[in-house]
């Protein structure tokens, strides 16, 4: 069978591939310490599960409007108003099968062949391939650790051209956990205001998993003059441990939302009615679950960060949000394993951890960050502690020469 060019342009998600490899090894009886999974290890809150059950028992199992139920749109609108002071009407809201689908449809709705999308690196693995799948050209802008893994005006300005359609801004980010301050967002906004043809797609899926003071901020709230050019995306997956419910949303210009809804009407008709009922309960119900899980994540972050930074060949900066560490392993590259294999890059280093220490992580090059690897600390402290001890032993076994 001949596949379409759009499929041949993209590659499977490295994080999905890593998770599949872990499942295969576990099915063979191998005991692994899995630090690859980018999803909460908590159960969905009880009141959210109960809302889904009530919806099923009440017969709320049919098609809904393409952009979601009125109750869910109202809940999303309320959250964005209460959290950011942003006002959105129904015509400015779309609901999809996860934030990932919403982002993909926004790119599908706006990109023609050769249109450019600025993607700061390190980036979530799917951004460049989503752009390629929709005939666009990803423009990767390296954002080094020395600059907080964040896009700066000096790096943004030369990346913008007449063909630029979007800038993607993920804050707090995956895989770095880096988040932009108000002043940093204003500085980027000053550049963007000089380029009125450029839209900004803000991926805010980790906004509630936040370790700083106050709240993580949205570009649309910090710079109202850009509000009609920002497409804000979010969902319930990470905050409420609802990854499998597949429910995300977007808020932005009505014409863009209309285009996204048109595409969705032909692709999936609407999101799951049951997931929508659950999402209403998540967004409007008690929020103690969020506060407690963030407290747990913070403790895991601090523990894992110390253990990693105690390993001579590794270093890591503290993330502002999310549940990942992006670990610098540059000092391990160029060393040899006990079997005499030269570690030439971060992918080989992560393979060494899997083979010799039974610890699964994801190599940084998959995120546009060669010389790094990503740890997810969305797992128990016991697993994290043992995994870090094994990583330390695997690093200690590396030598400058065989």
Is residue 173 located within the same domain as residue 315?
no
Residues of the chain with pLDDT under 70: 402
Quick one: pLDDT at residue 141? 98
CB 346 within 8 A of CB 361: no
User: 230: phi > 0 → left, psi -120 to 50 → alpha, else beta; which?
Assistant: beta
Quick one: pLDDT at residue 32? 92
User: 401 in a domain, yes or no?
Assistant: no
Quick one: pLDDT at residue 258? 98
- Name the domain boundary from 269, 284, 299: 284
Quick one: pLDDT at residue 246? 98
Give the three-class secondary structure for 160.
Answer: coil
* Number of other residues whose CB lies within 10 A of the CB of residue 285: 16
pLDDT, one tens digit per residue, over 178-219 is 999 999 999 999 999 999 999 999 999 999 999 988 889 999
The DSSP element (H or E) to which 49 belongs, if any, is helix 46-57
Is residue 278 located within the same domain as residue 368?
no
User: 402 in a domain, yes or no?
Assistant: no
> What CATH number should be reported for the domain holding residue 343?
3.90.1150.10
β-strands 199-203, 230-235 pairing: parallel
Quick one: pLDDT at residue 105? 98
Quick one: pLDDT at residue 22? 79
Is residue 59 located within the same domain as residue 35?
no
Is residue 256 located within the same domain as residue 384?
no
The DSSP element (H or E) to which 104 belongs, if any, is helix 99-110
Q: How far apart are CA 24 and CA 266, in angstroms?
A: 35
- Name the domain boundary from 284, 300, 331: 284
> What CATH number should be reported for the domain holding residue 136?
3.40.640.10
Q: How many domains does the chain divide into?
A: 2
Quick one: pLDDT at residue 311? 98
3-state class percentages of the chain: helix first, strand second, coil last, to nearest 5: 45, 15, 40
- Name the domain boundary from 259, 284, 309: 284
Is residue 37 located within the same domain as residue 55?
no
């Amino acid at each position: 069978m001949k596949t379409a060019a759009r499929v041949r342009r993209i590659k499977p998600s490295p994080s999905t591939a890593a998770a599949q490899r872990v499942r295969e090894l576990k099915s063979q009886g191998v005991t692994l310490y899995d630090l690859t999974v980018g999803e909460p290890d908590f159960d969905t809150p009880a009141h959210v599960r109960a809302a889904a059950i009530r919806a099923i028992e009440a017969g709320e199992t049919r098609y809904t409007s393409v952009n979601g139920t009125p109750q869910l749109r109202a809940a999303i609108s309320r959250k964005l108003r209460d959290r950011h002071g942003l006002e959105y009407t129904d015509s400015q809201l779309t609901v999809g099968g996860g934030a990932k689908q919403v982002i993909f449809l926004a790119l599908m709705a706006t990109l023609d062949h050769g249109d450019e999308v600025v993607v700061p690196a390190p980036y979530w693995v799917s951004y460049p391939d989503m752009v390629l799948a929709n005939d666009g050209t990803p423009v990767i802008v390296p954002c080094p650790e020395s600059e907080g893994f964040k896009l700066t005006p000096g790096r943004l300005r030369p990346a913008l051209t007449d063909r630029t359609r979007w800038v993607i801004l993920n804050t707090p980010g995956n895989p770095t956990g880096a988040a932009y301050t108000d002043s940093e967002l204003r500085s980027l906004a000053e550049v963007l205001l000089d380029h009125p043809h450029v839209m900004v797609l803000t991926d805010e899926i980790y906004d509630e998993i936040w370790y700083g003071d106050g709240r993580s901020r949205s570009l649309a709230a910090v710079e109202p003059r850009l509000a009609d050019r920002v497409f804000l995306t979010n969902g319930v997956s990470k905050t409420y441990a609802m990854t499998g419910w597949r429910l995300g949303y977007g808020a932005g210009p009505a014409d863009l939302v209309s285009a996204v809804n048109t595409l969705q009407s032909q692709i999936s008709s609407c999101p799951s009615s049951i997931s929508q009922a659950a999402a209403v309960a998540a967004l409007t119900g008690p929020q103690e679950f969020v506060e407690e899980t963030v407290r747990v994540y913070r403790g895991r972050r601090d523990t894992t960060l110390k253990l990693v930074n105690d390993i001579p060949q590794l270093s890591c900066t503290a993330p502002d949000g999310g549940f990942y560490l992006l670990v610098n392993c540059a000092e391990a590259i160029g060393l040899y394993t006990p079997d005499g294999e030269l570690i030439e890059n971060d992918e080989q280093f992560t393979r060494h951890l899997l083979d010799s220490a039974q610890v699964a992580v994801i190599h940084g090059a998959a995120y546009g960050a060669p010389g790094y690897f990503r740890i997810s600390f969305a797992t128990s402290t016991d697993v994290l502690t043992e995994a870090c001890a094994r990583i330390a032993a695997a690093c200690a076994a590396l030598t400058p020469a065989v």
